[in-house]
Amino acid sequence: MKPESLIDRTLAAARWRFAGQIAIQVLQFLVVLVLARLLPPSVFGLIGTAMIFAELSSFLITEGFSSGIVQQQVITSAQSG
């Protein structure tokens, strides 16, 4: 069997990541539908606010802060703990 090229592996990984993101979005939508049906409006509004805060926090951590970390080529003993 011929080894896959880097482009083929990259495209396969992108497809899996896209499929995973779609699955997460569908499941989150279903959870919101169930909660909207089961909870009274005041409680659902509180849960919705918490969900928005959690999503924004998650986005900032994965996309904002982690890409802004500066790495040094040489780590001193004081930095390593």
Sign (positive/negative) of CA torsion 55, 57, 38, 20? Answer: positive
Q: What is the pLDDT of residues 5-49, one digit of tens each?
A: 889 999 999 999 999 999 999 999 999 999 999 999 999 999 989
pTM score: 0.60
Q: What is the pLDDT of residues 53-77, one digit of tens each?
A: 998 888 887 776 665 566 666 777 7
